Amino acid sequence: MATLPDAAPPTNHTSETLPQSVLMVFLVLSIVTFLAILGTVAYSFFANYSLPAPYLQELPRYTTNESLVISGTAPAHAAVEVSSSNRSYQTTADAKGFFVLTISPAREEETTFHAIARKNILFKAFVSDWSNEVSTIVDRTPPVVTLSSLPKQTKVSSIVVTGTTEEDAIVTAFVNNTAVEKAEISTSASFSLKIPLSPGNNEVHFEFADAAGNTTKTTPAYIAYAKSTFPSRLPDSSGNLAQAAAQNTRRIFITLLSALMIMTYIASSRVVTFLRIAQKHQKRYDETG
């Protein structure tokens, strides 16, 4: 009897082959899904994200400094550009978002500053909106002052001084290096001060300070005060009236002596005249015998 050849064994799909294929397909689909979700999120982020604008700290209203410090906050590590009307300055915010910039204003004027930030995120460049505006007035010029004339001598115990200077300035009056009166200058830039005087010689000067802190000091003037302005009653340079009183006594004595001599001369003249008249009458009487 003939022997039949052995039949090929049937293909056996074991449990190892099928799960690997399914796992591969699942892994690919998961990666694609993840990338799709990541792309959607990234697109949504980039489409709606805006870089926060910087914030500038307020500056002093006036400054006399040669350098000006500008500081503020911005996104961390962002490039910051601070601009004025005629110049721009560059700096970078630190890891906490702070930045400080020192500049040297060239002109004495009111200057306004604002800032903008730039930053790259995942190969995309972002630019913020403009920051708030801050301004300051650079003023290094002492105030210009005009004063009314001061008397050299007076018989009243106080004088009124008027003048003009810058708006918002402060004027202080000094008598013998002691502050006696102060006034804030209004927008009209004019002022009026009542200055008290002490008997004797008064050294008077004024100091003006503008809003930026610049100061102007006037040249001292000397005002002699006494109740009588007759020259002999005026005090000396140290304010002492004793010497003036002595001079006054001498002058009175000389005046009285001069008056006495004049009166004596007048009386003598009249006596001589009377004697001449008497002699004429006597001569006529003798001739008519």
Q: Is residue 271 over pLDDT 80? A: no
pLDDT at 91: 95
- Verify that 124 and 157 share a domain, yes or no: no
pLDDT at 80: 95
pLDDT at 43: 62
The answer to whether residue 110 is domain-embedded is yes
CATH of the domain at 195: 2.60.40.10
Q: What is the DSSP letter of 218?
A: P
Least confident range of 3-12, 67-76, 98-107, 222-231: 3-12
String of b and e for 209-246 (b: at least 16 CB within 10 Å)? bbbbebebebeebebbbbeeeeeebbbeeebeeeebee
Q: Which residue has the higher pLDDT, 67 or 3?
A: 67
Helix (H, G, I), strand (E, B) or coil at 10: coil
Mean pLDDT score, 139-160: 91
- Verify that 151 and 131 share a domain, yes or no: no
**How does pLDDT run across 87-136, given as a tens digit for each residue?**
899 999 999 999 999 998 767 888 999 999 999 887 788 899 999 999 99
Residue ending a domain, choose from 230, 261, 281: 230
Quick one: which H or E segment has residue 272? helix 242-288
pLDDT at 2: 54
Indicate the number of domains in the chain: 2
- Verify that 215 and 150 share a domain, yes or no: yes
The answer to whether residue 108 is domain-embedded is yes
- Verify that 122 and 154 share a domain, yes or no: no
The answer to whether residue 272 is domain-embedded is no
How far is residue 31's CA from residue 103's CA, in Å, rounded to a whole number?
Answer: 53
How far is residue 103's CA from residue 141's CA, in Å, rounded to a whole number?
Answer: 20
Query: Which domain covers residue 79, as residue numbers?
Result: 55-138
Tell me how long the chain is.
289
pLDDT at 8: 53
